[in-house]
Amino acid sequence: MTGDRSGLPELVDGVGERYELLGTGSKPCPSCGSTHTTVDALLALRAKHPEFTPQRVELITVYTATTTPRDYVGWP
């Protein structure tokens, strides 16, 4: 996707025999997997306290693995 060389031989290797889609999964949230527990916590908080709305939140600090901002989301 972002490489600087063509991988056509690798791309067509196993066409019609190997289906990579069968080895994939799905994500419950459209965010980095490292943030899913935070999303779950916020949804649980909102379910328990309906008055908890974005308008009432000033700041949320999320602590996660050090590799998340460095390797997965691209910013601190």
Q: Give the single-character DSSP code of 28.
A: S
With CA atoms as reference, report the closest residue to 29 among 61, 73, 76, 71: 73
pLDDT tens per residue across span 18-58:
888 888 888 888 888 888 888 999 999 999 999 989 899 89
Residue 61 has pLDDT above 70, yes or no: yes
- Higher per-residue confidence, 72 vs 58: 58
In the chain, what are the domain boundaries?
A: 8-73
Q: Amino acid identity, residue 48?
A: K
**pLDDT at residue 55 in the model:** 93
**pLDDT at residue 76 in the model:** 56
User: Are 34 and 64 in contact, with CB atoms under 8 Å apart?
Assistant: yes
- Higher per-residue confidence, 72 vs 12: 12
pTM to 2 decimal places: 0.55
With CA atoms as reference, report the closest residue to 34 among 8, 72, 60: 72
- Average pLDDT (58-70) is 83
With CA atoms as reference, report the closest residue to 61 among 32, 38, 45, 33: 38
Rounded CA gap, 63 and 41, in Å? 13
